[in-house]
Chain A
Amino acid sequence: MTCVQCYQLSEQALVLSIDGLITQEVRQKIFALAQTANNTNDFFDIVPANSSITFYLNDFTRADYWLEQLITLWAKSEPEAFIPKTHLIDTFYGGEYGPDLNEISELTGLSQKQVIELHASVDYQVGFLGFLPGFGYLESLPEQLKLPRKATPRAHVPALSVAIAESLTAIYPSSSPGGWHLLGRCEQPLFDPHTDSPSLLSPGDVVRFIPKEHR
């Protein structure tokens, strides 16, 4: 069972927070409620996360109304109401694109081929974005691929690297320091502020990696 509360974090920010086991159904409810609230025009931003949603109010005098209303809307929120967008991401695994593939294979006891097949066998969902613009935390990595973050982070992870850490996988939209294990690289741009839809991924989207032969 989950227990839900709504509190005011600051003048403009309201948080709906969910305690208890976050099942796929709860996740879908989170995205469905974010979508419903987004259609009201009362919020200038809505940030879903693993077990919470933060709502940024246009008008802070509406805080009391929304503190109650969000609880009501949560109870009414239907998991099926949210239909995720799916992205197929062509990925070049291993070699110069995935410098940690060998190490991942050693640490997990799987062959490199098995690691790739396993990573590409799952539909991942964008739990939330953060760390960098367009950086989606993708859930959930198959159990056998779970590894702690690297003891020493890399100073420079190339843009579009596909990486894993703990129960997550992700694509680095731009180059940055990073402590995740690098498995491969994709070609599709993840974030471009000069376009009308700057981020490829949005919260709740589904990602599937498609292994491609190296050219």
Chain B
Amino acid sequence: MLRVIKPGVFSSIQDLGRHGHRHLGVSQSGVLDPIALKAGNALLGNIETAACIEITVGLAEFEFTQPCNFAITGGNLNAKLNSTALYPGWRYHAKAGDIIKFASHPEFLRAYLCVENGFDVPNLMNSRSTDCQTQFGGFKGNALQKGDVIPFSESCVPCSELAIKPTDYTNVVRVLKGPHCDILPEDYLAQLLSKTWTISDLSNRMGARLEHPTLLPHQKSIDSQGVHPGVIQLPPTGTPIVLLNDCQTTGGYPIIASVIQADLRHFSQLAPTKTCRFKLVDFDEANTALKKQEQEITRFKIANQQFENKK
């Protein structure tokens, strides 16, 4: 079990998300950085969809009440196991009673704690992710609280230390042209692409709200249509919103652009007051980027298997 001593600013159980229920109004949920989760699960030989804890900001502390092989991935929140520093992209072994602490880091916002075989919370509607808006899934439907005890299966054989090269984060994010640019003023897409945007402190797992001294106001609305993480909505106030994993399933604001799937993960590290820029690409580049990411994880899994077989 993992006992929550301090949940930190916001920690929740997440996996690769809840899919197939969007037409019922059910959000996707899931980790904001799927590559970090896949890397952590690959390090531990887990299935790709095993659930982890997503830690936001840090200042969190947990006790392993049983031996555990674990990995930390995502941003470097200056974690320590007892007094030993831990680094993202590595797997480690903890003994019963060991304490893992996440501090914080000015450049990073989210880290992922994966354990061998994943956290054992109920699978609801095909996912173990916490739906924080509707309060179901994850551990009792909520962000982690002090005193929560989260089950997972004990690791009997301590793992050797092993690392996967962490994939870098950037604040230059590739986007596809949105379908509603033609009902918006002519230069709005160009303005979206030329400005450096600041992440607003109203941002959360539902969406990153973007600020700039000169906004992109308008008076257009569209008939509500399906939306999903990555869609960039432009409400009449002119502050673009990059929808993230806990977003609603339909929306009536014009869609000015969509973040390509391979790059959406960068928003997992973009804290309020950080800036971002957008770069327009086509579907070919978006698809290639996604394939490349998948190949990197696959390559690591193969290398890892060969390494384990040699031992």
Contacts and interface: CB of A to CB of B under 8 A. Distances in A.
Bound pair (A, B): yes
Interface of A: 7-13, 15, 17, 34, 44-54, 56, 60-61, 63, 128-135, 174, 191, 193-194, 198-199, 201-203
Contacts of A203: 23
Contacts of B125: 193, 198
Contacts of A11: 260-261, 283, 286-287, 290
A52 B223 contact: yes
A8 B248 contact: no
Contacts of B23: 34, 45-48, 128-129, 202-203
B261 A130 contact: no
Contacts of A47: 22-23, 225-226, 249-250
A164 B256 CA distance: 31
Contacts of B20: 44-45
A119 B225 CA distance: 27
B223 A13 contact: no
B287 A133 contact: no
A182 B152 CA distance: 45
A133 B260 CA distance: 26
B25 A194 contact: no
Contacts of B290: 11, 60
B231 to A, nearest CB: 7
4 residue pairs, one from A and one from B, having the closest CB atoms: A54-B226, A47-B226, A130-B250, A129-B25
Given A133-B24, A199-B25, A193 B137 contact: yes
A114 B51 CA distance: 53
B298 interface: no
Nearest to B261: A11
Contacts of B140: none
B193 to A, nearest CB: 17
Using C-beta atoms within 8 Å of the partner chain, give the interface range for chain B.
Answer: 35 or more
Contacts of B223: 49-52
A5 to B, nearest CB: 9
Contacts of A193: 26, 124-125, 131, 134, 136-137
A10 B250 contact: no
Interface hub of A7, A61, A129, A191 (most chain B Cβ within 10 A): A129
B25 A131 contact: yes
Contact of B24 (A13, A61, A199): A199
Contacts of A52: 223, 225-226
A13 B225 CA distance: 12
A15 B178 CA distance: 12
Contacts of B25: 129-135, 199
B134 A49 contact: no
B283 A8 contact: yes
Contacts of A134: 24-25
25 contacts: A9-B179, A9-B258, A10-B231, A10-B258, A11-B286, A15-B179, A44-B19, A46-B23, A47-B249, A47-B250, A49-B226, A60-B290, A63-B283, A130-B248, A130-B250, A131-B25, A133-B24, A133-B26, A134-B24, A134-B25, A191-B134, A193-B134, A198-B21, A198-B125, A202-B23
A34 B226 CA distance: 13
Nearest to B18: A193
Contacts of B134: 132-133, 174, 191, 193
B248 A131 contact: yes
A45 B17 CA distance: 13
Nearest to B137: A193
Contacts of B27: 133
Given A10-B176, A47-B23, A47-B250, A15 B226 contact: yes
Given A10-B176, A11-B260, A193-B124, A56 B225 contact: no
